[in-house]
Amino acid sequence: MGLGPPVQPKPGSLDPRVRFRQRVQLARKRGSVAAWMAAENAKGHACACGCGKLIRILPSHHSRGIPRYLRAHRPMAVTMETR
């Protein structure tokens, strides 16, 4: 079940055609992921659990974000209830 073929606007409708005069090319301001990783590893992101261990920054953290906890250091809901 599709929406059907695309429909061209009728002449004189409220949606005028858009015409581009020229292309604009934007310069990228960011550097490479490797340079970003080196800079973030130099900052020394520590685990939020309080153990003091540093989180090693990986390439996937550039798009997903830097984790707050090391693997298996995140407090679980059961642990929080017993305290």
DSSP 3-state assignment of 46? strand
Residue 83 has pLDDT above 60, yes or no: no
Dist CA 75 CA 57 (whole Å) = 21
Dist CA 70 CA 35 (whole Å) = 22
pTM for this prediction:
0.54
Q: Please indicate, yes or no, if residue 21 is contained in any of the structural domains.
A: no
The tokens for 47 are 């685990």
Domain of 49? 33-82
Q: Please indicate, yes or no, if residue 58 is contained in any of the structural domains.
A: yes
Q: What is the pLDDT of residues 33-82, one digit of tens each?
A: 999 999 999 999 999 988 989 999 999 999 899 999 998 888 876 555 55
| Radius of gyration of the chain from its Cα atoms, rounded to whole angstroms | 25
Q: Please indicate, yes or no, if residue 8 is contained in any of the structural domains.
A: no
Dist CA 6 CA 60 (whole Å) = 39
Residue 41: the pLDDT is 94
Query: How many domains does the structure of the chain reveal?
Result: 1
